[in-house]
Amino acid sequence: MRENYLEALKWYGKAADMGNAEAKYKIGKILWEEGKRYLQESWEQGNADAGTFIKENLRCIEENDDCEYLVFKSPKPFSICSKKLWDGIIEYSLDKVNWHEWSGESITADTIYMRGCRNSVITGAELGELSSFSRPWHFKTNDRLICRGNIETLLDYKLCVSGEHPPMKEGCYRSMFKGCTSLSEAPSLPATKLTDLCYYAMFEGCTSLKEAPSLPATELADSCYKSMFKGCTSLSEAPSLPATELAVSGYESMFEGCTSLSEAPSLPATELATYCYQLMFEGCTSLSEAPSLPATELVSCCYCAMFKGCTSLKEAPSLPATELYLACYCGMFEGCTSLSEAPSLPATKLVPSCYSAMFRGCTSLSEAPSLPATELVDFCYSSMFEGCTSLLEAPSLPATKLASECYSRMFEGCTSLKDAPSLPTRNLAAFCYTSMFKGCNSLKGKPNLPRDCFL
């Protein structure tokens, strides 16, 4: 059989060289089909160059030529089952010819094709079900799993074929692949109009996923990308995030725990929303450089714990805002043990918990930023430099009006701090200096307090 194939190539090749159009067609078709097969097999065997070539040159390869379905594929037979939460019809096929309606029962094969009709939600968790353990789409395999194609074909493949985007309901793909540790390739997510919670926790815990799908939407919805790639420990590159106007919790915890992520995406947004960047990169221990943050108008909790635990982060982004909001910078760089320099903090009017724990545990930080505010609020500087063991000098603290726990634990555990700043006010507030210099073993003397201080 192999000899016949090579002989056919030989004769078709000769005829093609002589200008025969039919021979050119025959040999081109043979090489095209065989080439796709070899490229596909090479990719499935782990050849990254083959995968790159396919993505760049073959938009719809052999098993998805018409882009009418989603394909799940593994080198060995695997099973898929789910709680039925979609609101239309989903069909599956093992050969792209015979299609059967699927109600979530277990299917076993090495290749499974799926498509949907009249769906507006596929959801991986019922709305209102906040349990972190929910995972209705369950994949059982001992090998890596590929999911390839347009995810929207599960909603309505006929609309996709006609070039339309099927509309989504709230929570459309929520938690769909959550905990699927074998998933090595994700489907495309071409939607440009998002809904609340639509991709929430969609790939959370997918520890084999190395590359994220493109996210082209420029208008976000509340919690649309929240926890989307949380715990994807193999993810090394983030998708582009072009939105300039954010939504509540839009990027919250999006890359939390992505320990292989070495570069953050550009964040061009200038209009923020509550919790928009909260915990976005927490625990991204390979992240060495922070993206620029151009917004000058903040909102409550917008940057809260954004880079918490980013132990490789060496430089902080500029923070130009002069008007602060509740807990806006709370814990922003907590545990960034490689951060040696703090950004300038120009605001003079503070809000509760605005700088609380902002640099806590930044053991390489040797110099603190200037803190010019003269009127403090509750918890504003609480634990701000706690555990900064390399901090040699405290900033000047000119405030004359204090508030509850405003300085509590501010320098606790700063074992290299030798001199305490002057504390000029005589009018104290509840617990304002609680544990302020606790554990500062190198402190030469007590801070200079005015006589007759009173509460």
CA angle 34, 40, 41 (to 5 degrees): 90
Q: How far, in Å, CA of 232 to CA of 181, rounded?
A: 9
Report whether 70 contacts 187 (CB < 8 A). Answer: yes
What's the pLDDT at 30? 73
What's the pLDDT at 128? 54
Q: How far, in Å, CA of 234 to CA of 129, rounded?
A: 27
Look at the alpha carbons of 84, 89, 94, 100 in this order and tell me if their dihedral is positive or negative. positive
Residue ranges of the chain whose pLDDT lies below 50: 1, 59-66, 130-134, 454-455
What's the pLDDT at 137? 87
Q: Residues 150-194: pLDDT tens digits? A: 999 999 999 999 889 999 999 999 999 999 999 999 999 999 999
Q: What is the 3-state secondary structure (H, E, C) of 1-19?
A: CHHHHHHHHHHHHHHHHCC
DSSP-based three-state secondary structure for 447: coil
Strands 89-93 and 100-102 come out as antiparallel
- For the record, the structure tokens of 362 come out as 């930044």
**pTM (2 decimals)?**
0.84
Q: Residues 251-290: pLDDT tens digits? A: 999 999 999 999 999 999 999 999 999 999 999 999 999 9
Look at the alpha carbons of 144, 145, 146, 151 in this order and tell me if their dihedral is positive or negative. negative
What's the pLDDT at 23? 72
Report whether 150 contacts 187 (CB < 8 A). Answer: yes
What's the pLDDT at 307? 98
What are the counts of helices (DSSP H) followed by strands (DSSP E) for the chain? 4, 7
H-helix segments, 187-346: none
Beta-bridge mates of residue 33: none
